């Protein structure tokens, strides 16, 4: 009878047929899997489109480079354009040399200053930690002494209380019991202070040394001032020529130009470039000249904010009569560029932020 009753009730939806619930769960799981697959498929499609866009960009860049190489081959194949092309790339090499010299100077100064400040930071950290350790050791010794004295007072009070067994000791025993409660509270407080002192001492032992925060703002400013002074020195060494302006113009272009004259003029210009590279790399009296320029710039430099490490360009412009100490290589500085304002030798890529 029960089996016969279940079937009509199942038809009415009042009772689930055996296996129906498991089948519904499988259907729900299939729909979930389908939704997850569609989501994963959409993500893969987006990734494919992104990679295709990057591939097109790379193909465009490769095509542009190929066009430049073909144009350069055509220029080098023709006598009228080959010599200007050689001058163009040698001027770019001169500009790169100046930037490399600046980069090496900043890297050397930053490394030296970082080593110095790192040692100072470690010394100061050790000094502070030693002072804290001494203070915590003193607190620990004091807490140990207080805890030991409190424990001894409690033991003495209990000993004396145990000796008061006669009936005429009632009032003394009562007073001593009150006193014992106070001493036990003091002993608990002393034990808690001892545990706290031990915890502070253990925490100090496990404490990691503070990480070096990096160069200070003052150090980065000093290094940047030295970089600006060195950039000025490089310009002053070539002040009798127009090579700095020509090199800057060449560095700003992507392709060679025919603005350097005839073959003879190009040959003379290439000789000047070769001599200029030798002059730029000279280190004779470099320290004295650089120190003189950095002292001057340090007095003139102004910053927009206390956190800035690069001075404002208008504050460090060269003044008229600013010349090298060596008379043979000096020149009127009124015609020299403001190396920071004009980003000479790609100075903004070199300075520290």
pLDDT at 270: 93
Residues 91 and 201 in one domain: no
Point out the domain boundary residue: 153, 185, 206: 206
The full DSSP string for 250-317 is HHH-SS--S-S-SHHHHHHHHHHHHHHHHHHT--TTHHHHHHHHHHHHHHH---SSTT--S--GGGSP
Q: How many domains does the chain have?
A: 2
Q: What is the pTM of this model?
A: 0.67
Residues 254 and 113 in one domain: yes
Determine, yes or no, domain membership for 41: no
Domain of residue 222 covers 83-122+217-350
Determine, yes or no, domain membership for 78: no
pLDDT at 326: 39
CA dihedral 114, 117, 119, 122 (to 10 degrees): -120
Sign of CA dihedral 156, 161, 164, 169: positive
Q: Is 127 strand, coil or helix?
A: helix
Cβ–Cβ under 8 Å, residues 140 and 201: yes
Residues 193 and 323 in one domain: no
Determine, yes or no, domain membership for 30: no
pLDDT at 93: 94
Q: 84: which residues sit within 8 A by CB, 6+ positions away? A: 75, 256, 257, 258, 259, 260, 261, 266
pLDDT at 18: 56
Point out the domain boundary residue: 173, 206, 239: 206
pLDDT at 244: 92
Query: Which runs of consecutive H residues, i.e. helices, occur in 164-242?
Result: 170-206, 217-237
pLDDT at 17: 57
Give CA 85 to chain center in angstroms: 40
Dump pLDDT digits (tens) for 218-248.
999 999 999 999 999 999 999 888 899 999 9
Residues 110 and 156 in one domain: no
Determine, yes or no, domain membership for 14: no
pLDDT at 19: 65
Determine, yes or no, domain membership for 324: yes
Residues 135 and 118 in one domain: no
Ranges of the chain whose pLDDT falls below 70: 1-19, 318-335
Distance CA 187, CA 195 (A): 12
Which is nearest to 113 in space by CA: 195, 38, 217, 205?
A: 217
pLDDT at 232: 92
Determine, yes or no, domain membership for 221: yes
Residues 328 and 254 in one domain: yes
Residues 167 and 239 in one domain: no
pLDDT at 8: 54
- By the 10 Å C-beta count (0-12 exposed, 13-18 middle, 19+ buried), 298 is classed as middle
Distance CA 75, CA 84 (A): 9
Dump pLDDT digits (tens) for 19-75.
677 887 888 888 888 888 888 888 898 899 898 888 888 888 888 877 777 777 777
Residues 302 and 273 in one domain: yes
Determine, yes or no, domain membership for 136: yes
């Amino acid at each position: 009878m029960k089996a016969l009753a279940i079937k009509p009730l199942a038809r009415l939806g009042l009772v689930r047929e055996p296996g129906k619930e498991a089948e519904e769960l499988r259907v729900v799981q299939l729909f979930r899997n389908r939704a997850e697959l569609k989501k994963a498929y959409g993500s893969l499609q987006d990734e494919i489109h992104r990679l295709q866009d990057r591939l097109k960009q790379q193909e465009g860049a490769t095509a542009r480079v190929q066009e430049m190489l073909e144009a350069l081959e055509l220029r080098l194949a023709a006598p009228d354009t080959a010599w200007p092309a050689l001058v163009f790339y040698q001027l770019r090499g001169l500009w790169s040399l100046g930037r490399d010299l600046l980069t090496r100077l900043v890297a050397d100064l930053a490394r030296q200053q970082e080593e110095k400040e790192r040692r100072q930071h470690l010394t100061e950290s050790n000094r502070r930690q030693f002072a804290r350790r001494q203070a915590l050791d003193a607190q620990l010794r004091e807490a140990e002494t207080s805890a030991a004295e409190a424990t001894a007072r409690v033991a003495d009070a209990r000993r004396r209380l145990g000796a008061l067994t006669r009936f005429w000791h009632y009032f003394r025993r009562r007073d001593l019991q009150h006193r014992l409660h106070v001493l036990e509270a003091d002993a608990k407080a002393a034990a808690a202070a001892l545990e706290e002192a031990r915890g502070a001492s253990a925490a100090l032992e496990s404490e990691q040394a503070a990480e070096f925060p990096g160069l200070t703002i003052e150090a980065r400013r000093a290094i940047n001032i030295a970089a600006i002074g060195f950039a000025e020195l490089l310009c002053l060494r070539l002040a009798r020529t127009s090579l700095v302006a020509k090199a800057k113009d060449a560095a700003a272009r992507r392709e060679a130009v025919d603005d350097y004259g005839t073959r003879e003029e190009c040959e003379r210009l290439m000789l000047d470039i070769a001599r200029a590279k030798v002059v730029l790399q000279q280190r004779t009296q470099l320290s004295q000249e650089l120190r003189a320029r950095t002292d001057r710039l340090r007095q003139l430099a102004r910053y927009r904010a206390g956190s800035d490490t690069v001075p404002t360009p208008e504050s460090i412009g060269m003044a008229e009569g600013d010349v090298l100490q060596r008379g043979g290589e000096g020149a009127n500085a009124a015609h020299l560029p403001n190396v920071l304002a004009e980003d000479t030798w790609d100075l903004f890529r070199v300075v520290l932020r």
